[in-house]
Amino acid sequence: MKQLHKQPSLNQQHQIPTHTHTSSYSSKSAKQQTRSSSFLRSAASYLLREQRLLFVLAGALIASTFFLLSPYYHSSLSRLSFSSPDEGPHRVLPSFHHPSLDRSSTTKASVSVAAAGGGGGRRVPAGLRKPPLRIVVTGGAGFVGSHLVDKLLARGDSVIVLDNFFTGRKDNLVHHFGNPRFELIRHDVVEPILLEVDQIYHLACPASPVHYKYNPIKTIKTNVMGTLNMLGLAKRIGARFLLTSTSEVYGDPLEHPQKETYWGHVNPIGVRSCYDEGKRTAETLSMDYHRGAGVEVRIARIFNTYGPRMCLDDGRVVSNFVAQALRKQPMTVYGDGKQTRSFQYVSDLVDGLVALMEGEHIGPFNLGNPGEFTMLELAEVVKETVDPSATIEFRPNTADDPHMRKPDITKAKELLNWEPKISLRQGLPLMVTDFRKRLNEKK
């Protein structure tokens, strides 16, 4: 049977006679061969005469040295290193080198970023300013994001904000419209996007209980798919990625104050789980992209933050109390008012986020103000600042509301050289001025 199916060998196939004009074709090619070999002989004897070969070799050496040192060659190389074959084509924008990106060179991503940066032709002579970075801020039209954008633009970087305006407002960024280093893109992070940047600050996610409970499925989608999309982008382009996680990952903590080593006490099936568990998953994804794909990640666990541009009616305790006191309404205290929180002014948080992004450590890092206040104490400070005649109204506590929350920031102090500077009594009046202005505009 085997013999019946036996195919002619390759040699046999080559020996099969071809059609009739083969011989005329071979005689033409023989003539061509003779012509080209006589050309080669005369070229070689020309080169050997009067050391011309030496000159040709020297010329080739100089040309290849120029080619290897040219910035264009390096930028092409870096673009090649950014595109992985499994990820298809992508839009390539100019990338910028930042020395801080070269520091932790242990990961795959850092190697490609260093190649891109180091060879980008943007070597900075000692003593001169760092070249600007291209940075994406997701959720940049929100409360924290817009303050972060202010800081990044003020230091000379280029910023692209991605926001679906669920809780964010164009008003928070309107002062940057017309700045050529600023771009605002209406985009939902649940969908992928192609951009080339050096750093990604991933903030997109509704942060107040009123907003994240409004559509819990969307909240968890934002946390999981949105974070996956941004990590995928970071992997593809070799960008550094910072996740804004939350103190909510500690749930209703059994350890006080909370250190980063504490794994938390979280209800996985409660009404707040879309946010708490969503952020915990986002942290897991970040670490898996770091370990598995070499993405340079940074994780911040943010504790309660307040300041200008917070949503007026987002149900967060500071904005609630301030808006109610300004409207001459009683301040609503849930439960007995003895549950504690720490309150961080937004500029302190932004400084911490930037220190984390620029530093060498992955985290997670608690970023919060360790000053601890009960809800009743907070109400007193708001009364002092806004209206001494303001009153308090008690209501039943909400489900899964943590009893205590206070960050241990030893790690951030030691490794990021960061700690908050603004006390509640200093920061609150700044927020009150902003809220008063916006409430008056609404009238």
Ligand X SMILES: NC(=O)c1ccc[n+]([C@@H]2O[C@H](COP(=O)([O-])OP(=O)(O)OC[C@H]3O[C@@H](n4cnc5c(N)ncnc54)[C@H](O)[C@@H]3O)[C@@H](O)[C@H]2O)c1
The residues binding ligand X (CB under 6 A) are 138-139, 141-145, 162-168, 188-190, 203-207, 211, 222, 226, 244, 246, 302, 304-305
Nearer to ligand X, 171 or 393 (CB): 171
Least separation, in Å, of the C-beta of 137 and ligand X? 10
Question: 275 catalytic, yes or no?
Answer: yes
Question: Does residue 294 come out as left (phi exceeding 0), alpha (psi in the -120 to 50 range) or beta?
Answer: left
Question: Does residue 241 come out as left (phi exceeding 0), alpha (psi in the -120 to 50 range) or beta?
Answer: beta
CB 200 within 8 A of CB 236: no
Least separation, in Å, of the C-beta of 114 and ligand X? 29
Least separation, in Å, of the C-beta of 393 and ligand X? 23
Nearer to ligand X, 163 or 252 (CB): 163
User: How far apart (Å, rounded) are the C-alpha atoms in residues 378 and 369?
Assistant: 14
C-alpha closest to that of 300 among 343, 363, 376, 359: 363
Nearer to ligand X, 164 or 324 (CB): 164
Least separation, in Å, of the C-beta of 367 and ligand X? 9
Residue with tokens 């070969």: 53
Rg of the chain in Å (alpha carbons): 31
Phi, psi at residue 47, to the nearest 5°? -65, -35
Least separation, in Å, of the C-beta of 208 and ligand X? 6
Nearer to ligand X, 41 or 437 (CB): 437
Least separation, in Å, of the C-beta of 83 and ligand X? 26
Nearer to ligand X, 25 or 214 (CB): 214
Nearer to ligand X, 110 or 172 (CB): 172
Which residue type does 103 have?
R
Nearer to ligand X, 111 or 225 (CB): 225
Least separation, in Å, of the C-beta of 355 and ligand X? 16
Selected catalytic residue, list 275, 289, 306, 345: 275
* Active-site residue list: 275
